[in-house]
Structure formats: C-alpha cells, structure tokens
Amino acid sequence: TIEGLYSYQTRQTINFEQLTEAGLFGIFGAVGSGKSSILEAISFALYGETERMNKRDNRAYNMMNLKSSKSFIEFDFINFENRTFRKLV
C-alpha cells in the first residue's frame, strides 16, 4: 500500500499475490504513472533508502507527493516458510 509517495497522492494497494499467480507479470504505464515508484517504495520499506535518494550530486530529494499532507508505505512480504511479515514506513 502506497500513499503520498511520488505519483501516488491517494492510497493505492497492489496485490502481488494475484499478480504472480501465473509466475510472471509486468508493470506497464505511461511516463510518470508510478511504475518506478512501486519499486522505490519496496526498496525504502526494506532498506530505508532508495536509488533516487542516494544520488551523489548533493541535492536534497524528497519522496513525498507535493499535493499530499502525509506519506505512507505498508509492505507485506512472505518468506519461503509462507510466513507473512509487515513493514510500515
């Protein structure tokens, strides 16, 4: 679930379990529609940093959508034992 992050002003939930049932899926959309934002949210939830935030040009970078008053990331992942873990950011 992503809210207030890059292209995602309102709360959106993506169910990867449904997407991966066939074994392979793709994320398609126009430029600026939020494809990379999904990966950035996962990276930030897991590691506390993203590729965009780690640029070496010393510019401040903010992940928050400029029209949002808050940002939220909720990431559930399932391990090889089928146990679910949740990370809230």
Q: Is the pLDDT of residue 55 over 70?
A: no
Total Cβ atoms within 10 A of residue 78: 11
32's CB contacts (< 8 A; 6+ apart) are: 7
17's CB contacts (< 8 A; 6+ apart) are: 78
pTM of the model: 0.79
Q: Is the pLDDT of residue 84 over 80?
A: yes
Stronger pLDDT, 58 or 42, i.e. the higher one: 42
Cα 61 to Cα 15, 19, 27, 64, distances in angstroms: 28, 31, 24, 9
Length of the chain, in residues: 89
Give the pLDDT confidence of 25-54 residue by residue, as tens digits: 899 999 989 999 999 899 888 888 887 776
Give the pLDDT confidence of 72-83 residue by residue, as tens digits: 999 998 888 999
Mean pLDDT, the chain, whole residue set: 86
